[in-house]
Amino acid sequence: MLNYLRNLDRRIVFLLMGLAVALPILFKLSFPEPVPEGSQPYHVFDQIDNLPDGSRVLISFDFDPGSQGELLPMAMGFTRHCAQKHHKMYFMCLWPLGEPFVEDAMNIVIGQEYPDLIYGEDFMSFGYKPGAEAVIKNCIVDMKTLFITDSRKTDLNKIPMTANIKSAKAMDLIINISAGDPGTKQWVQYAATPAGIPLVAGCTGVQAPLLYPYIPNPLKGLLPAIKGAAGYEQVLIAAYPEMGAADIVDSKYSSKAALQRMGPQFVAHLLMVSFILLGNFIYFYDKKGGA
């Protein structure tokens, strides 16, 4: 038995991991997500909630389909929160494959849950712009010259929300959802620090350690990975119960998408802890056995 475990085929490991992720989703296994007071989800929530209604918020979707599992729930959560507070939402995107998510935020989340909001007056999208850091640097100088039109090819001077603003310095908050580079680090370096614009972000788990040094200044709050997103969803639903009630049919846009994904995370983490314990047991057994 021990010999079998010692030479365990990695495909068995893969199979167990596959089951650990699939079964909780199939059986809709979910667990409570306690959110300690003063933790990051609260900081992020407060930054958006304490803004006066109608404030200008620049929301940048800097991720692609590969990381949508971790980042889409928080992106939609940010959209819902801003829509709830009637903030003026300015969407943009620095990753070419991220633009459809911006369209989904506008058409599915805002379109279905907040139908009274009007494109051009309450929300708009600058669309995708190639250039990475150059785009961010130009955003704090002159957005009209940078983008010229919105994602629907309308002149920015003709859109009520953008007619009177010149640069991102007119924004009251920047929200960034980031999977890598360009992402939150570049927004910190080239927008939040030089222009003094408050910034909150959501990021993948692997990026979070890199961004912790920037909290609380200039990064006011950070949602790391799906756990941060689940905490934020919990805080949102506690503050606005009607958000939890309105569930969109396609579950990846649901207001509880992150909470649902914590079930597989729970089982998968326990499985990894078991693998580590097993591996060490075999190691110490061999060492003790005079090998």
Partner 1 sequence: MIAKRTIPLLMASAVGFLLILTYFIPQTEQWGADAMEMFIILAAAAMVLGAGNLVMMNLAKVSRRSEGWGYAAITLIAFVVVLVIGLLKIGAHGTAVSPANAWPSNPVQEGSPFWWIYQYGLVPLTATMFAMLAFYIASAAFRAFRAKNVEASLLLGTAFIVLLGQVYAGYWLTDFLPADPGDTAWSQFLNGLRLENLTQMIMDVPQKAGNRAITIGIALGIVSTSLKVLLGVDRSYLGSAD
Partner 2 sequence: MRHIAYAMLACVLAFEAMAYAAIAPPSNVQTADTPNDVGNQVDVTWSLSPDDNGKGAVKGYVIYRVTIDSAEGLESTASATSLAGSEPIGDVAYGKTDFTDENTTAGTMYTYGVAAVNTSGTSDIAVAALNVTPRMEYINRGKLWFGIIMLTISGVVIWYVRYAKRGGDVKVRKIAGLEAVTEAVGRATEMGREVLFVPGILDINDIQTVAGMTVLASVAKTAAEYDAKLEVPTARSLVMTTARETVEAAYLAAGRPDAYDENNIYYLTDEQFGYTAGIQGKMVRDKPAACFYMGAFYAESLILAETGNSIGAIQIAGTAMPSQLPFFVAACDYTLIGEEFFAASAYLSGDAQQLGSLKGQDVGKVIAAALLVLGCFFATLAMATGSSSMIATQDYIKNNILGNEGFVPAAAAETGIEGDNE
User: What whole-number distance in Å separates Cα of residue 173 and Cα of residue 233?
Assistant: 20
Q: Please state, in angstroms and rounded to a whole number, the distance separating the CA atoms of residues 121 and 140.
A: 22
- Residue 116, interface with partner 2 (CB under 8 A)? no
Query: Alpha-carbon distance 33 to 30, whole Å?
Result: 9
18 binds, among partner 1, partner 2, none (CB under 5 to 8 A by kind): partner 1
Applying CB under 8 A, which of residues 12, 206, 277, 278 lies at the interface with partner 2?
206
137 contacts partner 2 (rule: CB under 8 A): no
Q: Which two tokens stand for residue 37?
A: 């007071």
Whether the Cβ atoms of residue 179 and residue 67 lie closer than 8 Å to each other: yes
As given in the structure block, the two tokens for residue 251 are 């579950």
* Cα 76 from chain centre: 8
Asked if residues 51 and 197 have their Cβ atoms less than 8 Å apart, the reply is no
| Residue 213 CB-half CA count within 13 A | 5
Q: Which residues bind partner 1 (CB under 8 A)?
A: 8, 10, 13-14, 16-18, 21, 31-34, 36, 39, 64-69, 97, 99-100, 103, 107, 127, 130-134, 137-138, 141, 151-154, 208-210, 212-213, 227, 262, 265-266, 268-273, 275-276, 278-280, 283-284
Our finding on whether 10 is near partner 2 (CB under 8 A) is: yes
**Under the criterion CB under 8 A, does residue 160 sit at the interface with partner 2?**
no
From residue 96, alpha-carbon distances to 133, 142, 272 in Å are: 14, 21, 34
3-state class (DSSP) for residue 203: strand
Print the binding letters for residues 168-197 with partner 2: x by CB under 8 A, - otherwise.
-xx-x-------xx-----------xx---
Of residues 64 and 122, the one with the C-beta less far from partner 2: 64
| Phi, psi (deg, nearest 5) at residue 147 | -95, -35
CB 85 to partner 1: min, Å: 27
**Residue whose pair of structure tokens reads 């639903």 in the numeric block:** 237
Site size toward partner 2 (CB under 8 A) is 25
- Percent of the chain that is helix, strand, coil (3-state, to 5): 55, 15, 30
Query: Are residues 157 and 151 in contact, defined by beta-carbon separation less than 8 angstroms?
Result: no
Of 100, 94, 193, the closest CA to residue 136 belongs to: 94
Tell me which of partner 2, partner 1, none is bound by residue 167, counting a contact when its beta carbon lies within the kind-specific cut-off of 5 to 8 angstroms. Answer: partner 2
CB of 228 to partner 1, least distance (A): 10
Q: Which one, 65 or 160, has the nearer CB to partner 1?
A: 65
Asked if 207 is part of the footprint of partner 2 (rule: CB under 8 A), the reply reads yes
Per CB under 8 A, 21 contacts partner 2:
no
Site string for partner 2, 40-79 (x = CB under 8 A): -----------xxxxxx-------x-xx------------
Taking CB under 8 A as the rule, does residue 159 contact partner 2? no
Provide the minimum distance between the beta carbon of 94 and partner 2 in the complex, in angstroms, as a whole number. 15
The yes or no reply on residue 165 touching partner 2 (CB under 8 A) is yes
Return residues touching partner 2 (CB under 8 A): 10, 51-56, 64, 66-67, 164-167, 169-170, 172, 180-181, 193-194, 206-207, 209-210
